[in-house]
Amino acid sequence: MKITDPAAIQRCYHALVARSPEHVGAFYAAVKTTGIFCLPTCRARKPKVENVDFFSDIKEPLALGFRPCKVCRPTENAPDVPPQVARAVALVREQPKRRIQDGELRELGISPELVRRWFQKHHGFSFQAYQRMLRINLAMSELKDGRSTTDVALDSGYESLSGFAYTYKKMTGNAPSQGAQQLVLHRFTTPLGPMFVCASENGVCLLEFTDRRMLETEFRDLQRLFKARILAGENAHTREAEVQIAEYFEGKRRQFSVTLDAPGSDFQRGVWNALRAMKFGEVTHYADLAARLGAPNSVRAVAGANGANRIAIIIPCHRIIGKDGSLTGYGGGLARKEWLLAHELQNR
């Protein structure tokens, strides 16, 4: 979103001139005279305030045709989790059954307000809600392993079974005795910006950049298809996906072995398997992919299956280009698509 408040614009401009690292991720500066957008820390010569627009996220300057700066590389150096937030999250992961209160955060030099704002902006829920989700995720696993509801409830910090049962049902849609399918959602950072990875107990079902426009629709579809709620958390599949994606960006991995659990029709899965069978750095177009599948008259259906892919990079829909060699649409944005293709060409 474009920042229009005059006071906010002045704050952004002062941060840009000061090359303030604290504001990385808070805004992007798009220079109207050059058509380039930058991070607040960019070393390039600073424009006059009247020649720059400020945006609160990366997708709008890209959509408006601004090019990523070659000095600060905003698409490659997108904001990581702020140090204070990372410390708060680490506390929860170390002791997922314990409630971390605001007072404890302050004693550790962590601003609860900063943590709360970051969670609301990037996840749409509070830090306290994040803690509850992790506790319920862990409780679900323990119940499936045969532990009693009473033991799990008390061990999770609940003083009564009724309180535990109420929270459990509110988050999962089922009573503790009924069990529930588990979809966990984890956010991690890549050189092209933060991504969400979502997984069932059987494998990864979603991997998308967090600014993908259709993300909320994809979340709703997954919850409907799996008949499950999505809760913040991790499992073996999300952790393995994060490791393999990091290796991909480091140029160390050309193929992925992480287990997938991608719901779709037989035709869609056939298209996705054909994409995964492509060589690293190879590109193709819809007509060629349809021919590979033995369905040369199904070009439009192939395009639809490609667009329905929810697992970016691992199912490499970014390798689809126009028949004339031009870049075509990509859910993560054309700047990212161009980067991914160049990265694979360089490392194949």
Q: 167 Cβ partners below 8 Å, 6+ apart?
A: 132, 136, 158
The C-alpha angle with vertex 43 and arms to 38 and 46, in degrees rounded to 5, equals 70
> Could you tell me the sign of the dihedral formed by the alpha carbons of 235, 75, 329, 283, in that order?
negative
Beta strand ranges found along the chain (DSSP E): 28-31, 36-38, 52-55, 67-68, 183-190, 193-199, 204-209, 230-232
Name the phi and psi angles at 101, rounded to 5.
-90, 160
- Residue where the block lists tokens 């009724």: 162
CA distances from 256 to 185, 276, 277, 345 (A): 20, 9, 11, 17
Q: Which pair of structure tokens corresponds to residue 14?
A: 């002062």
**Could you give the residue ranges of the DSSP H alpha helices within 110-160?**
112-122, 127-144, 149-155
Which residue is catalytic, options 12, 38, 198, 317?
317
CA 114/CA 95 separation, integer angstroms:
21
Q: Pairing between strand 36-38 and 230-232?
A: unpaired
Q: Which two tokens stand for residue 15?
A: 């941060």
- Characterize the bridge pairing of strands 67-68 and 52-55: unpaired
Q: Which two tokens stand for residue 87?
A: 């410390």
Q: Establish whether 317 is a catalytic residue.
A: yes
Compute the distance between CA of residue 298 and CA of residue 164 in angstroms, rounded to an integer. 51
Residue numbers annotated as active site: 317
